[in-house]
Amino acid sequence: MIEPVLRIEDLHVHFPVKMGLVQFAGRALLHATGSAGREEGEEYVRPRVHAVDGVSFNLNRGEILGLVGESGCGKTTTGRAVLRLLRLTKGRIVFEGTDITGLKEKDLRPLRPRMQIIFQDPHAALNPSMTIGRSIQDPLLVHGRATEKEAREDTLAVMEEVGLAPAEDLFNKYPADLSGGQQQRAVIARAIILKPSLIVADEPVAMLDMSIRARILELLLDLKRKYGLTYLFITHDLATAKFVCDRIAIMYLGRIVETGPAEAIYRDPKHPYTRALIAAIPVPEPGRTREVTLPRGEVPDAITPPRGCRFHPRCPVALPTCGWEGRDFIEFLEREQLVESPGASDPNIGDVGEWKVHGFVARRSVDAGTNERVADAVHSLLQRAPPAFAHAIASVSVQDRDVIVRFRAPDPLVAKEVEGRTVECLLY
Amino acid sequence: MSEIVLEAKDLRVHYHTKRGPVKAVDGVTFDLHEGETVGVVGETGSGKSTLGKAILGLVPPRTKIRGSLLLRGRELTGLSDGEYRRLRGEDLALIFQDPMTRLDPLMTIREHFIETLKSHDSAVSTEGASKRAAEVLRSMGIPESRLDHYPHEFSGGMRQRIMIAMALVLRPKLLVADEPTTSLDVIVEAQILEILRDLRRAYAMSVLLITHNLGIVAEVCDRTAVMYAGKIVELGPVDSVFRRPIHPYTQGLLASTIHLNTKELRSIDGLPPSLLNPPSGCRFHPRCAYAKEICAQQEPPMVEFRPGHFAACHFGGDFV
């Protein structure tokens, strides 16, 4: 078997949430007294953003893998982590057969020329006080690959190649003198001048106007064919990914939920999130009607991602075993109160704020004597709940002054092969 | 025909700069009917955002505005700041791209609504204002229990819903939405677009939707105006413009849009012109594959090639 250019195994990147000492002490105290609504017996740990939370993929030579997802899904963090531009929390990165996970920066440096990145905003990626030519040739000098004179010649050749012509004239221009498209060409020139094998392209056309995007994408494809480049193409735009990528990995909240050949994923998406994402794209064809129901709400925060499948609270086809938990009960109450359902305005349900969440449990303390009535009100309100959610509830019970709604533990979520792709969903 | 809410006649907005006037909007004529949604599309520097700002009276000082802009028959150009302030909210409302920059981080959502309502009607009570806020928020899918939350406690999509709710609470006749979903993700964008579509029905409001995204125009607009270098080059029903575009720029723009059914990549050669010194004749002629001598010499007039479908191209007839 041919060694892939890049092999990523179980990559995790967590960021601690920034807070001051007082805030930290306060949170820890609240936790110790049990009023913060966390699981009992759990030690207080500084909250962490689970930006990337167990991502694995291979990138084969000459391939374009699209990493696609909404903002905050961890696609950019993944792109930076695989180049070791960020500290990993856990996982393994193998680049061209070398495990670079623990390499020191000085040992990494000889490999750097072979792995490059193209950023979204060319204006920010170019030093405004350096001429375009100097910016492009700088990597050659930094890595001691050429003398000034050779570097200049190589730079002029690369500039012509990426369409910065006439190169002689543009060499001494500053970024501000160039259009956005030309700036991005300069960034691409700088990325390829060291003849890399892997390029991470992070939203390379997102900042550009529609009428010039195609030209930059074509340039990337031409360069790939010519030099046998391998791309990790990061984008939020499914349409662009469809056009450019061989394979696509769909990310949601720090995990890849579906991976497969681009063509298959668009023709017949398997994961409910992929389906929603594809269906939500506005298409410039008047009269087309949207037949899908959109997932409700927005992406939850990555500090405490939902249990089980992270998409379950928004999923239109969720099962009772997908990971329903106490907070989903709170959300259910809020939704019912929003539509002013008769059950939700029952005073026995109380304010949403009176319900406390502990993992798989939601509980409300009530006056002794009314607890049975509250439990009954919850039961009748649950008649209106979506079946998957209602069936996920193991019990509504009464314990002293508490009314307790307890959820079943979810089924373990494992990635499965479904018709030539890998899907992380209990439907399969 | 329904009532005309907004009418622009040969509107020109020239920004003052050290290097001379930037002709951001340079002779724009169109109208907007009651209950209609018109999408203004164009790329960076086409003048679409300037058009929106001019309607709302939000252009920087020393900007020259010429031509006429009538809101239900009332001339807007030359209004004083005070007069404009009264119009905004009651007759005109706006939603922006980034809601966080328009909400005060130190005020709860309830306080935002009370301030908005009281500044237009000092007789309204605090309870009355809260009640109206709760109603309009509920129609946007935000529960009343969140009225006392601060802007940072909401997600991006919810903040945009709050902005829309605040724009609607005074029941304006015209809503100007400048890239209302650009900072949102695709699923939330679709949710907001559904809301905008429903608004037309529920409030009989006219909407001027400014966007670079042709897909959004196709989904929510009745008519579209395509802008290029400060001018409207094509104007007509969305269906007609998207299916059978006349102006070569519109054709190029539609062909270069990458969407799920894109079969091949296309682009428009060249770059948009400088608005300090725009090209003579048709402003698109240096980039146009069909340009002939006349295109550099004479500015093409807007011609109605199909019912309600106008384009400014000397050879428009060839493309009908």
Q: Write out chain B residues lying below 8 Å of A211, CB-based.
A: 43, 252-253, 256, 267-268
For B92-113, what is each residue's pLDDT tens digit?
A: 988 887 777 788 999 999 999 9
Handedness of CA B108, B109, B110, B116 (dihedral sign): positive
Sheet holding A356-358, edge to edge: A356-358, A361-365, A402-407, A393-399
Span between the terminal Cα atoms of chain A, in Å: 29
Q: Write out chain B residues lying below 8 Å of A203, CB-based.
A: none
Q: Write out chain B residues lying below 8 Å of A352, CB-based.
A: 145
For B228-247, what is each residue's pLDDT tens digit?
A: 999 999 999 999 999 999 99
pLDDT bin (cut points 50, 70, 90) of residue B150 is very high
Query: Residue written as tokens 């902005």?
Result: B163
Nearest to A210 among B155, B187, B212 (CB): B212
Q: For residue B17, what are the CA distances in angstroms to A180, A374, B25, B66, B278?
A: 22, 68, 15, 17, 15
Nearest to A284 among B157, B186, B214 (CB): B214
Beta bridge partners of B33: B4
In terms of Cα–Cα distance, which of A428, A414, A405 is closest to A357? A405
Q: What is the pLDDT of residue A379?
A: 92
A277 touches chain B (CB under 8 A): yes
Q: What is the dihedral of CA A29, A30, A32, A38, to 10 degrees?
A: -140
Q: What is the pLDDT of residue A408?
A: 94
- Kindly write down the DSSP assignment for every residue of B89-147, as one continuous string: HHTEEEE-S-GGGGS-TTS-HHHHHHHHHHHH-TT--HHHHHHHHHHHHHHTT--GGGT
Q: Write out chain B residues lying below 8 Å of A208, CB-based.
A: none
Q: Do A283 and B265 count as a contact with CB atoms less than 8 A apart?
A: no
A291 touches chain B (CB under 8 A): no
Q: Do B253 and A211 count as a contact with CB atoms less than 8 A apart?
A: yes
Name the minimum distance, in Å, from the CA of B78 to any CA of chain A: 34
Q: What is the pLDDT of residue A151?
A: 95
Mean pLDDT of chain B: 91
Nearest to B157 among A217, A298, A351 (CB): A298
Q: Do A284 and B215 count as a contact with CB atoms less than 8 A apart?
A: yes
Nearest to A266 among B189, B242, B260 (CB): B260
Q: Do A284 and B217 count as a contact with CB atoms less than 8 A apart?
A: yes
Name the minimum distance, in Å, from the CA of B82 to any CA of chain A: 37
Q: What is the pLDDT of residue A387?
A: 92
Name the minimum distance, in Å, from the CA of B12 to any CA of chain A: 24
In terms of Cα–Cα distance, which of A231, A212, A210 is closest to A222? A231
In terms of Cα–Cα distance, which of B296, B298, B302, B301 is closest to B279? B296
Q: Write out chain A residues lying below 8 Å of B185, CB-based.
A: 70-71, 236, 298-299
**What's A205's DSSP letter?**
T
Nearest to B265 among A214, A290, A337 (CB): A214
Q: Do A209 and B212 count as a contact with CB atoms less than 8 A apart?
A: yes
**Which residue of B258, B262, B284 to mutate against A (max A Cβ within 10 Å)?**
B258
Q: Do A282 and B189 count as a contact with CB atoms less than 8 A apart?
A: yes
**Which residue of A68, A285, A355 to mutate against B (max B Cβ within 10 Å)?**
A285
A215 touches chain B (CB under 8 A): yes
Listed in sequence order, the DSSP H helices in A209-325 are 210-227, 238-244, 262-267, 272-280
Cα–Cα dist A322/A411, whole Å: 7
Q: Write out chain A residues lying below 8 Å of B254, CB-based.
A: 284
Does the structure show a pLDDT above 60 at B1? no
Cα–Cα dist B144/A428, whole Å: 39
Q: For residue A422, what are the CA distances in angstroms to A50, A240, A249, A320?
A: 22, 21, 9, 22
Nearest to B187 among A217, A276, A334 (CB): A276
Q: Are A99 and A7 in contact (CB under 8 A)?
A: no
Cα–Cα dist B204/A262, whole Å: 43
Q: Write out chain A residues lying below 8 Å of B218, CB-based.
A: 282-286, 288
**Least confident window among A26-40, B26-40, B114-128:** A26-40
Cα A290 off chain centre by: 25
Q: Do A210 and B194 count as a contact with CB atoms less than 8 A apart?
A: no
**Per-residue pLDDT in tens (0 to 9) along chain A, 428 residues:** 678 999 999 999 999 887 777 777 777 777 666 554 445 555 677 788 999 999 999 999 999 999 999 888 999 999 999 999 999 999 999 999 999 999 999 999 999 999 999 999 999 999 999 999 999 999 999 999 999 999 999 999 999 999 998 999 999 999 999 999 999 999 999 999 999 999 999 999 998 988 889 999 999 999 999 999 999 999 999 999 999 999 999 999 999 999 999 999 999 999 999 999 998 888 888 877 666 678 888 888 888 899 999 999 999 999 999 999 999 999 999 888 888 777 777 888 888 888 999 999 999 998 878 888 899 999 999 998 999 999 999 999 998 889 999 999 999 999 999 999 999 999 99
Residue in chain B lying closest to A69 (CA): B185
Instruction: Judge if the upstream peptide bond of residue A166 is cis by omega within 30 degrees of 0.
Output: yes
Residue in chain A lying closest to B215 (CA): A284
pTM as predicted:
0.88
- Count of A–B CB contacts within 8 Å? 130
Q: Are B55 and B69 in contact (CB under 8 A)?
A: yes
Nearest to B215 among A213, A242, A282 (CB): A282
Sheet strands (E) in A45-204: 48-59, 64-68, 90-95, 98-99, 115-118, 198-202
Q: What is the pLDDT of residue A290?
A: 64
Name the minimum distance, in Å, from the CA of B217 to any CA of chain A: 7
Q: What is the pLDDT of residue A37?
A: 47
Cα–Cα dist A177/A162, whole Å: 17
| Helix count and strand count (H, E) for chain A | 15, 16
Q: Do B214 and A280 count as a contact with CB atoms less than 8 A apart?
A: no
For B160-200, what is each residue's pLDDT tens digit?
A: 889 988 988 888 889 999 998 887 888 888 888 888 888 77
Name the minimum distance, in Å, from the CA of A127 to any CA of chain B: 23
A267 touches chain B (CB under 8 A): no
